């Protein structure tokens, strides 16, 4: 194929059945969000570039990985690299801070980062995220974490593990930051190049360096610097999440370096991935909405990369079978078969018909691939107003009156173990 006509590097066409796994993941995630009283929000997939510059000047995404362009009107726009900044912008612009508190929102949609293509890292990827605005209470943090765990659990990764830390607040974090910088300043020569840069810009990130792990072991611990409020907050979050039966432990090296983060940071992993690997993370960012010139509001949330999730879940999440009923027909009865199909779809049965004028034998072979029931329309029986129904699960076959067909099939589906009386074995 002409390279100019191929899809852009680092993107994917999501084909069946993988497309149905995405869809199933989306429905499970949104169902669970509704169970917790969250509402769906959709924001544009592009924003004015300033929106993302405002919230993340020190991050790699904003510095190097933006998809930005000037449109024909001269406006500097960026394809959104993440959801939190866009929701915060929408929160202020629409005056959502006047809505009843707390405001619980979830989003699902594509995000864009121009990163080097590698396994599970796409330039367009899908993210599911939750944002809870208006509560400082540790119950809000706990609810966000419990929601995240329930989604992971439901898609097939049972018993997820949560790692949590508190990066403190405006009262206690500056004291810790100073102690940390003093500790690392004495070891500057030993640090990797990234960490030497972090010393000034983002000292907390020194703790999550993957190279300088020996140095951090004797570094000051955040827990020794927490103020009483911050200590009580993280203890309460851990009590609630643990009390709900979820595995949660403190990770002293888990940090988020941005200024608008407060207190809770967390990551969710799973034993099948190894102890240090995270599926996704989240945290509390009480200072974020204030960056949009609006009233500042406490907020806590997470963002879940769906490609990463689907890869970790593997075949534990399977799409539903395509159809329940296949209507095969004898030659000349294709129109009747299609009408019968419509009647079954009217009562909610997923139904397919032959559209290729195949032989009955070929139709039956096709039906056997996905459908539970095969209905055979045509011939002598049709004149008696009857059809043959094969049930692949029950391995039975019987004649059913056409007007009773929908009711018969629904009844068979409702009573899977109750075999039909007159059914001859196939």
Rounded distance between C-alpha atoms, residue 340 and residue 347, angstroms: 11
User: Closer to Zn ion at the Cβ: 259 or 398?
Assistant: 259
Span from 1-9, 114-122, 162-170, 365-373 in contact with Zn ion (CB under 5 A): 162-170
CB of residue 200 vs Zn ion: minimum separation in angstroms?
14
CB of residue 288 vs Zn ion: minimum separation in angstroms?
18
Binds Zn ion by CB under 5 A, chosen from 53, 169, 350, 410: 169
User: Closer to Zn ion at the Cβ: 70 or 232?
Assistant: 232
Note whether 319 and 294 are within 8 A (CB). Answer: no
Number of helices and strands (H, E) in the chain? 14, 17
Strands 76-79 and 103-112: unpaired
Residue 78, strand partner residues: 47, 68
Torsion, CA 286, CA 287, CA 292, CA 296, rounded to 10: 60
User: Closer to Zn ion at the Cβ: 80 or 205?
Assistant: 205
First to last CA, the chain: 48
Number of residues that bind Zn ion (CB under 5 A): 11
CB of residue 224 vs Zn ion: minimum separation in angstroms?
12
CB of residue 15 vs Zn ion: minimum separation in angstroms?
41
Span from 88-96, 131-139, 180-188, 202-210 in contact with Zn ion (CB under 5 A): 202-210
Binds Zn ion by CB under 5 A, chosen from 90, 145, 195, 328: 195
User: Closer to Zn ion at the Cβ: 47 or 208?
Assistant: 208
CB of residue 189 vs Zn ion: minimum separation in angstroms?
12
Binds Zn ion by CB under 5 A, chosen from 28, 209, 273, 402: 209
- Taking residue 36's Cβ as centre, other Cβ atoms within 10 Å add up to 15
Instruction: Report DSSP letters for 295-325, one per residue.
Output: ----EEEEEEEHHHHHHHHGGGS-PPPS-SE
Rounded distance between C-alpha atoms, residue 151 and residue 149, angstroms: 5
CB of residue 63 vs Zn ion: minimum separation in angstroms?
18
Span from 90-98, 169-177, 214-222, 265-273 in contact with Zn ion (CB under 5 A): 169-177
CB of residue 191 vs Zn ion: minimum separation in angstroms?
5
- Taking residue 140's Cβ as centre, other Cβ atoms within 10 Å add up to 22
Binds Zn ion by CB under 5 A, chosen from 40, 45, 171, 232: 171
User: Closer to Zn ion at the Cβ: 171 or 185?
Assistant: 171
Rounded distance between C-alpha atoms, residue 136 and residue 148, angstroms: 18
Strands 351-353 and 325-329: parallel
Q: Which two tokens stand for residue 8?
A: 């852009």
Residues 215 to 244 in contact with Zn ion, rule: CB under 5 A: 227, 230
CB of residue 166 vs Zn ion: minimum separation in angstroms?
8
Residue 376, strand partner residues: 328, 388
Binds Zn ion by CB under 5 A, chosen from 185, 211, 213, 275: 211
User: Closer to Zn ion at the Cβ: 182 or 342?
Assistant: 182
Q: Is 172 near Zn ion (CB under 5 A)?
A: yes
Rounded distance between C-alpha atoms, residue 55 and residue 292, angstroms: 9
User: Closer to Zn ion at the Cβ: 213 or 362?
Assistant: 213
Q: Is 362 near Zn ion (CB under 5 A)?
A: no
Span from 29-37, 139-147, 191-199, 275-283 in contact with Zn ion (CB under 5 A): 191-199
Binds Zn ion by CB under 5 A, chosen from 83, 138, 160, 168: 168
> Tokens 């300088």 — which residue?
212
Q: Is 151 near Zn ion (CB under 5 A)?
A: no
Burial 280-310 (b: 16+ CB within 10 A, else e): bbbbbbbbbbebbebeebbbbbbbbbbbbbb
Cis peptide leading into residue 102 (ω within 30°): yes
- The three-state secondary structure class of 109 is strand
Binds Zn ion by CB under 5 A, chosen from 192, 199, 402, 413: 192
CB of residue 168 vs Zn ion: minimum separation in angstroms?
4
Length of the chain as a residue count = 426
Which positions touch Zn ion (CB under 5 A)? 168-169, 171-172, 192, 195, 209, 211-212, 227, 230
């Amino acid at each position: 194929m002409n390279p100019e006509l191929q899809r852009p590097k680092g993107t994917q066409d999501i084909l069946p059945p993988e497309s149905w796994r995405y869809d199933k993941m989306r429905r499970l995630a949104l169902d669970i969000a509704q169970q917790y009283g969250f509402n769906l929000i959709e924001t544009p997939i592009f924003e004015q570039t300033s929106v993302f510059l405002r919230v993340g000047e020190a991050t790699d995404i904003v510095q190097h990985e933006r998809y930005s362009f000037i449109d024909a009107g001269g406006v500097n726009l960026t394809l959104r690299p993440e959801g939190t900044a866009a929701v915060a912008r929408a929160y202020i612009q629409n005056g959502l801070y006047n809505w009843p508190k707390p405001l619980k929102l979830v989003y699902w949609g594509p995000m864009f980062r121009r990163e080097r293509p590698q396994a599970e890292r796409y330039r367009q990827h899908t993210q599911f995220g939750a944002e809870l605005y208006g509560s400082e209470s540790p119950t809000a943090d706990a609810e966000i974490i419990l929601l995240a765990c329930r989604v992971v659990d439901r898609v097939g990764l049972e018993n997820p593990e949560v790692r949590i830390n508190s990066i403190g607040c405006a009262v206690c974090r500056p004291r810790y930051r100073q102690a940390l910088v003093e500790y690392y300043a004495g070891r500057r020569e030993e640090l990797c190049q990234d960490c030497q840069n972090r010393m000034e810009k983002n000292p907390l990130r020194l703790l999550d360096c993957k190279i300088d792990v020996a140095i951090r072991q004797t570094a000051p611990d955040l827990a020794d610097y927490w103020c009483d409020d911050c200590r009580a907050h993280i203890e309460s979050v851990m009590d609630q999440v643990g009390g709900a039966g979820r595995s949660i432990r403190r990770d002293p090296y888990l940090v988020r370096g941005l200024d608008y983060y407060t207190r809770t940071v967390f990551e969710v992993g799973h034993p099948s991935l190894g102890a240090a690997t995270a599926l996704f993370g989240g945290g509390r960012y009480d200072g974020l909405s204030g960056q949009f010139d609006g009233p500042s509001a406490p907020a806590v949330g997470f963002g879940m990369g769906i490609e990463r999730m689907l890869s970790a879940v593997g075949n534990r999440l399977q799409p539903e079978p395509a159809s329940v009923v296949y209507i095969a027909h004898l030659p000349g009865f294709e129109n009747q078969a299609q009408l019968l199909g419509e009647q079954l779809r009217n009562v909610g049965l997923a139904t397919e018909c032959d559209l290729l004028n195949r032989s009955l034998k070929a139709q039956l072979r096709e039906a056997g691939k996905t459908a539970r029931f095969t209905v055979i329309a045509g011939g002598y029986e049709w004149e008696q107003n009857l059809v043959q129904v094969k049930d692949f699960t029950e391995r039975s076959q019987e004649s059913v009156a056409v007007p009773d067909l929908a009711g018969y099939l629904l009844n068979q589906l409702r009573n899977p173990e109750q075999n039909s009386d007159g059914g001859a074995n196939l």
